[in-house]
Structures are given as structure tokens and as C-alpha cells.
Amino acid sequence: MLILLVNALIVTFGHQHRWIVARRVFFCAALSYCFRALCITIFQVPVPSVHTYCAPKTNGTVDIVAARVARMFWSAGIEQLRPRELCGDLIVSGHTLTIFTAFLTFKYYSPKKLKPLVYLYHLLACLAIVSILMARKHYMIDVVLGYTVSTRIFMEYHSLMVSYHDNSMEKNILSWSIWSGVVPFFERDAPPPHAFHNHIEWPSSCPQKIRRSLA
């Protein structure tokens, strides 16, 4: 997951249209995690392993809840950076959302010369999912929902993006989505797909300045 995430971030912020790519990708990720937050709110499931640590129950005062929320926020939800706070917060798999959002970002926005890596990273994503299940970090339904949500949202946004630039959004049935109105706002200054080329460049002029100073 970390390899996929790092490569996706490099492609995003190294892209010649980095801010356009970033807002697309982060919107897709945010929408996926909103769905996860909704599922956590309405579903309660036991942890999939008896060896999973959960913080002991408390009287649930506002101070304790706020402290736990703050710890989860500053650790970005990564359990390795903090003790596990909750039990039953597994639907939907956040690992799976991250894995496939990162993989699709690399696949869609990487230059042609990096396309052979797409097959390797696809295999890596599948191995990561298998490892999650074997480690009993999630139920199968968590992973299935994570895969479905992350891939459908990414594909739906980019389908609507193409339709917007072709002036055919009203013909695309995906525009019935309640969030489709965000697409024209995000794409108002983006080049159309035929003029949008995937090239990687330095995100600042610092390397050119260094080369000129050494020349």
C-alpha cells in the first residue's frame, strides 16, 4: 500500500497539471472516505481477530471522545502510529480504498513510458488485498465494498469529466449522481482530454536553478 501511495503522490505532484490532477484525485478519495464514514456510523461489526487490541470501554465523556478523535486525526487513521481506539469500525476497508485509488491514479496519469509498471502495481494491489485478508485485518465484505466504492467513484468522476469537456454531460446518465455538480466547478480551467498530456516535470524551478549555478 505504501509503495502504491508514494508512486501515486509522485505522479500527482510531478504531473505538469499537478493541481488539476490533485483536486481530482483527492476529491475521489474524500468521497470514498465519506462513504466509509457513513458505513461506520450505521453498521456495527465485531473485530475479525481475537488478537486485535481495542481500547477499554469508558464512560464516554466529551473529553475522552474528543481526545480519541484527536489521536485518530493526527495519526491519519494509521494504526501503527497509535493504539487502536475502536472496535467495529472496519466497514469499509480504508486500506482497500487507499490501495485502489492510488493504483488508478498511477494507471490514469502516469506517462506512457511508465505504463509497464501498471501491470506490476496491479499485481501488488492484489497481493496487498490478500495480505489484508490473511492477516485478518478486515472481513471479505470490507474489502469488496472498498474495491467497489473506490473504483466506481474514480471511474465515474473521470467519465463525467470527459463528458463535461465534450459538452455532453446531459447525455451521460452518471450525471444523475447528487455530487455531479462538482465536476464543472473542478474542470472549469482544465484542458480538454485531447490536450491533456501526462508528462512528469519538477514541481518547482529549484533543480534548473541548481544546474545553472553549477554550469
For residue 142, indicate whether it is catalytic: yes
Three-state secondary-structure class, residue 15: strand
Q: Which of 201, 185, 95, 73 lies closest to 145 in space, CA to CA?
A: 95
User: 8-56, pLDDT tens digit by residue?
Assistant: 999 999 999 999 999 999 999 999 999 998 988 888 777 777 776 677 7
Does 167 lie in the same domain as 63? no
Q: Minimum mean pLDDT among 47-61, 84-98, 170-184: which range?
A: 47-61
CB 48 within 8 A of CB 138: yes
- Mean pLDDT over 187-207 rounds to 84
- Mean pLDDT over 115-125 rounds to 93
**What domain range includes position 69?**
56-86
Does 160 lie in the same domain as 186? yes
Going by pLDDT thresholds of 50, 70 and 90, the confidence category of residue 61 is: confident
Positive or negative, the Cα torsion across 89, 6, 149, 29?
Answer: positive
Q: What is the pLDDT at residue 201?
A: 86
Does 41 lie in the same domain as 7? yes
CB 55 within 8 A of CB 84: yes
Whether this prediction's pTM lies above 0.85 is answered by no
Catalytic member of 15, 89, 142, 165 = 142
Cell of 14: 510531478
Does 68 lie in the same domain as 158? no
Does 38 lie in the same domain as 107? yes
Which residues are registered as beta bridge partners of 200?
15
Does 48 lie in the same domain as 80? no
Does 69 lie in the same domain as 113? no
Catalytic member of 17, 51, 89, 95 = 95
Catalytic member of 15, 89, 138, 165 = 138
Going by pLDDT thresholds of 50, 70 and 90, the confidence category of residue 60 is: confident
For residue 194, indicate whether it is catalytic: no
Q: What is the pLDDT at residue 136?
A: 81
Question: Which of 64, 86, 108 marks a domain boundary?
Answer: 86
**Residue 150 Cα to chain centre, angstroms:** 7
Question: Computed over its alpha carbons, how large is the radius of gyration of the chain?
Answer: 20
Cβ atoms < 10 Å from Cβ of 165: 18
Does 141 lie in the same domain as 122? yes
Q: What is the pLDDT at residue 215?
A: 47
The total of structural domains in the chain comes to 2
User: 70-85, pLDDT tens digit by residue?
Assistant: 877 766 656 666 666 6
For residue 138, indicate whether it is catalytic: yes
Q: Percent of the chain, pLDDT > 70? A: 84
Q: What is the pLDDT at residue 164?
A: 95
